[in-house]
Amino acid sequence: MIPKRVLRALSIVAGPLLIAVAGSAMAAGKPNIVLINMDNFGYGELGVYGGGITRGGATPRIDKLAVEGLRLTNFNVEAQCTPSRAALMTGRYAKRSGNASVPWQTGLYGLPQSEVTMAEMLAHEGYATGIFGKWHLGHTPGRFPTDQGFDEWYGIPNSTDEAYWPAQSQFNEVAAQGTVPYLEAEYIYKGTRGSAPQKVKIYDIPARREIDREITDHTKAFIERQAKSGRSFFAYVPYTLTHMPVLPSAVFEGKSGNGHWGDVLMQIDAYVGELIDTLDQLDIADNTIFIFTADNGPEMLPENHGWSGPWSGSYFTAKEGSLRVPFIMRWPGMVPAGAVSNEIVHQMDLFTTLAGVTGGQVPADRLIDGVDQRDFFFGKSEHSARDGFVVYVGEDIFGVKWRNWKMLTKEFDDARGSGRIVEYGVPRFYNLYNDPKEAYPITMKFPEHLWVRWPMAQILREHLESLAKEPPIKAGTPDPSG
């Protein structure tokens, strides 16, 4: 794979046109990819997952998408925003790249230049790559998405809770002093590869309401341009909803008659429907992999909290409500329509799977945790290529998930990620078939099933050995100069 510094030099010296022409030839005939990644979107929000009208807002377009493709009920993610996005983009546990936690204590965060992203892997195969929405993997030069394989970007670098800040006089006073590094209002940015992204406008509450409309419009324009050029494309669409504050666009305000959650669900469904319609109108739907998923389980704060369906817990925990999110994949003629599975899949697997689909190169000079799920996704196997994974919450390992079992060595006492961490002398074991709410770790049958600790211990042991073999990058580590 071509080093990033060489690609940057090419983009400046040779110009974007030369790269696009060469890329178009390389990507000819390969499927387009649209990857929607919702923000803090609970398992139970969509109608096809038990939500929709029961949450106050029908989601018919996304529900139909599930009927036309594969729906997973055991698709797993990392427990926080930044680590989830790092795992998705690199196919690696976020711990490895220094992104195990959201950046509480360091302003310098995100993916270092040494990581190979999904966008870089696909760009190397000639894909046009665009990101429209929330990045949350760096807000400094060298760590913007256009430094990490994306040809263009419209969106925010960090998180939507920062939209609250510009209305606070104390924040504005301290930020204006310029004495606290990285303390500034968040902006919506627009950028292209090879140049510094430019600030478009302050991301405040009014902008928060309308940004997903803008994300949709930019994505549609990107798809239309690439379809006209005949170049295969990767459109990464990390919408900002349903991260707090959960507020609908003015057009959808009051539309459901059931409050903001109903309004927002109708809005999400309509915007996703527009993207689907765009593919249909351009007659490229049959050659497009369309994925709908989320980075995390639901918010935990009252009035903004989402719904995790049959599971307990919010994001920032090790509960199933944190780990399981919706996952729908449609690729007509390749992914069986109407398929539903409870096999374990992790978001890290998308990197390796899409590499396999597109002929992309999986880096051989580092540990990759994702596995190739093509046989499973395409209906050639009833079983996932993985049966478990290590459960992280921030920097800490909380346990292991294996098949229908979970072993936890620590938990939050409030199941919302905001209480005390309780560590157990004896791990808690949950049979997720019998106890989906993870409410009964110690029962009369507990001793009968202690054998499950051995396969889970093997997963944990192998992971710890891999960390010793390839020590993780520490959070806040700068990229080498030069």
Which residues form the catalytic set? 81, 136
Cβ(150)–Cβ(141) below 8 Å = no
**Position of tokens 């580092």?**
366
Task: Give me the DSSP letters along 260-300.
Answer: HHHHHHHHHHHHHHHHHHHHHHTT-GGGEEEEEEESS----
8 A C-beta contact, residue 124 and residue 361: yes
Contact predicate 127/232, CB 8 Å = yes
- Spatial CA neighbour of 377 closest among 78, 69, 93, 89: 69
Give yes or no for a contact between 42 and 307, defined as CB atoms under 8 angstroms apart: yes
Q: How far is CA 401 from CA 29, 89, 299, 433, 462, in A?
A: 38, 22, 22, 13, 14
Q: What angle do CA 79, 82, 88 make, to 5 degrees?
A: 80
Measuring CA to CA, which residue among 66, 81, 49, 92 is closest to residue 290? 66
Q: Give CA–CA dist 208/244, Å, rounded.
A: 10
Where would I find the beta strands (DSSP E) of 65-148? 70-72, 75-76, 128-134
What's the number of CA atoms in the CB half-sphere (13 Å) around residue 360? 29
Read off φ and ψ for residue 293, nearest 5 degrees: -155, -165
Residue 11's φ and ψ, nearest 5 degrees, are -65, -30
List the end-to-end C-alpha distance of the chain, in Å, as a whole number: 19
